[in-house]
Structure 1
Amino acid sequence: MLLDKYKGIIPAFYACYDEAGEISPERIKALAIHLYEKGVQGLYVGGSSGECIYQNLEERKATLKYVAESLKGQLTLIAHVGAPSTKESVELAKYAEELGYDALSAIPPIYFQLPESAIEKYWTEIMDSTDLPFIIYNIPQSTGYNLSINLLKKLLQNDKLIGVKNSSMPVMDIERFKAAAHDDFIVFNGPDEQYVSGRLIGADSGIGGTYGVMPELFLKAEEFVSAGDFSEARKIQHDINDIIMTLCSLNGSMYSVIKEIYKLKGVNIGSVRGPLEPVSGDDIEKVEGIKTRIDEVIMNYQTQN
């Protein structure tokens, strides 16, 4: 069944740079293999966590290429192809299809406040450019547009639309999108802070930016939800949220904190690209404490079984 391919924990893939801040093929491949070995079900490549809006077209193509070379056929691979123009988005979509990606996804157009008709045309042109399934990426807090039920129903007339990656904060949006579509329509929980509640209200799966730094905890959360052990599911969500708060508590981007934690894990994927800020000063010493806390929570749940 189509839906099964997209169930489970799907980390949003992080941008990987060398010491000069350029795309690193070796580090991309190392991160891809690292996440594969953790047991995740797929990867969402080139989205917010991939710093897509700070990369040019060739850099984004390179990331798609090196992830596919590492894992095509072994995990479900979703290519985020949202770009400033329809032309660029379509070019990325066609390239992802050539590489063997399983599905495409895209945010709505950004910067200009476009009418809904323009957003409909944008997503439709991406869908019509390839034979791949398509997943809408709804993240209104960043794009300024919140997917309407009216537009969703229009776009559902295109058989290539199979789901929504919903990163709006009201968990009810997940239920409303699910109710407006057909049985095989996939809704992915986006906000990591509400993974458990998103799954309970109807999300089929999850794609998230902090999954990559603690995949073990999200895999365990999914295990509890799937088993109907909601007491344990609430507890692990509490632990996850405590960690997310610490990831966001330092000076610098949350992704720069995550990347510093990765260095401590022995997987160097570089830092972030400006205007995102790296961790600096006294905060660098605090990163080790955050990593230690993540390791402790992971160990706690592993020793329970």
Structure 2
Amino acid sequence: MTLTKFHGIIPAFYACYDDQGNISESRTHALCDYLFEKGVQGVYVGGSSGECIYQSLDERKAVLSYVASNLKGKMTLIAHVGAPSTRDSIELAKHAATLGYDALSAIPPIYFKLPDSAVYKYWSEIMEATPLSFIIYNIPQTTGYTLTPSLFEKLLANKKVIGVKNSSMPTMDIERFKRVGGKDVVVFNGPDEQYVAGRIMGADAGIGGTYAVMPELFLQANEFVKAGKFEEAGQIQSDINDIIIALCSLKGAMYAGIKEILKLRGVNIGSVRAPLEAVAAEDAGPIADIMKLIDQAIERYCG
């Protein structure tokens, strides 16, 4: 497998519900079609943006199946299989392998504070369950666990480890992981607010939760970075950050706002699952304003 298939812009796939809040196959396919038409390089399925911690094991397996049936062979597919127990994570991993996913990924175990030895064993046992490549997921602000360069280096002894999705905020972490892994490892920038900075510091690609609501902007940011147009890259990042700040200022959850914008685009994937809060009536005006910001930025940089 060539690592270049993991380069580029890879949106984190959103949970797609029907009007009763159940996983919707038809709406999942609609989001697949939308992202394929936008030209992104792949999708990251079942992570934070997919509301995985609020879904049952069967629901998560269904989402993996729906996405694979639509996009397998069309773009790179990464299955996030992190779950509260090693047993559930392995079951998800084996399911993804039967569906033809290109790689697996997982956050570290959550809730209990575990030593490095337990986290190492957790990731290693998932890796040994299938022949698929594996991408470590470091997101300390939500899991409470921080991946160290030394543990990452130890994990790289397993040849199935091909990369790390780094969602910690310091861009230095990206530089450190790239220094440890070198050219044989893909480092993914996680925080959308620092996509350009992360790429400059060594990230090879990006996986992000806001990519799918404005894929044109991240695709263009990627082109600016590849072309060495860093002034333009900084400008588009600044506009992206204005949009993200506005999304995070809604009364409802950020993902609820994102889904409302997609609905206005003709892609209805429902709302969010509790305890995430749906958009409120007073969010309607700000959501229209955010959509306008996105459209103006697309016209400015991509038109």
**TM tier, shorter chain?**
over 0.9
Describe the SS at the equivalent of 2:9: strand
One-letter code aligned to 1:217: L
Q: Deviations over 1:121-147 (max 9, x none)?
A: 000000000000000000000000010
Describe the SS at the equivalent of 1:32: helix
Describe the SS at the equivalent of 2:292: helix
- Structure-2 separation of matches of 1:233 and 1:48: 26
Equivalence for 2:18: 18
Query: How far 1:285 sits from its partner (Å)?
Result: 2.9
Query: How far 1:282 sits from its partner (Å)?
Result: 1.3
Map 1:213-232 onto structure 2 (within 5 A): 213-232=213-232
Q: How many residues align?
A: 303
Equivalence for 1:287: 287
Does residue 196 in structure 1 map to residue 196 in structure 2? yes
Query: How far 1:292 sits from its partner (Å)?
Result: 1.5
Query: How far 1:286 sits from its partner (Å)?
Result: 2.2
Equivalence for 1:183: 183
- Structure-1 separation of matches of 2:225 and 2:150: 31
Map 1:233-252 onto structure 2 (within 5 A): 233-252=233-252
**Contact in 1 for aligned 2:217/2:302 (Cα 8 Å):** no
- Structure-2 separation of matches of 1:174 and 1:182: 11
Map 1:1-305 onto structure 2 (within 5 A): 2-303=2-303
Query: How far 1:283 sits from its partner (Å)?
Result: 1.3
For structure 2, which runs of at least 5 residues remain unmatched after alignment? none
**Contact in 1 for aligned 2:49/2:209 (Cα 8 Å):** yes
Could you tell me the TM-score, scaled by structure 2's length?
A: 0.99
**Contact in 2 for aligned 1:259/1:270 (Cα 8 Å):** yes
Could you tell me the TM-score, scaled by structure 1's length?
A: 0.98
Q: Deviations over 1:61-80 (max 9, x none)?
A: 11100000001011000000
Q: Using the TM superposition, name which of 122-131 and 293-302 deviates more.
A: 293-302
- Structure-2 separation of matches of 1:80 and 1:236: 29
- Structure-1 separation of matches of 2:156 and 2:182: 9
Query: How far 1:232 sits from its partner (Å)?
Result: 0.3
One-letter code aligned to 1:297: A
One-letter code aligned to 2:253: S
- Structure-2 separation of matches of 1:281 and 1:244: 20
Query: How far 1:186 sits from its partner (Å)?
Result: 0.6
Percent identity of equivalent pairs: 68
- Structure-1 separation of matches of 2:241 and 2:293: 12
One-letter code aligned to 1:107: I
Kindly report structure 1 stretches of 4+ aligned residues shifted beyond 2 Å.
none
**Contact in 2 for aligned 1:2/1:184 (Cα 8 Å):** no
- Structure-2 separation of matches of 1:52 and 1:294: 27
**Contact in 2 for aligned 1:12/1:207 (Cα 8 Å):** yes
Query: How far 1:296 sits from its partner (Å)?
Result: 1.3
One-letter code aligned to 1:25: E
**Contact in 1 for aligned 2:189/2:206 (Cα 8 Å):** yes
One-letter code aligned to 1:283: D
For structure 1, which runs of at least 5 residues remain unmatched after alignment? none
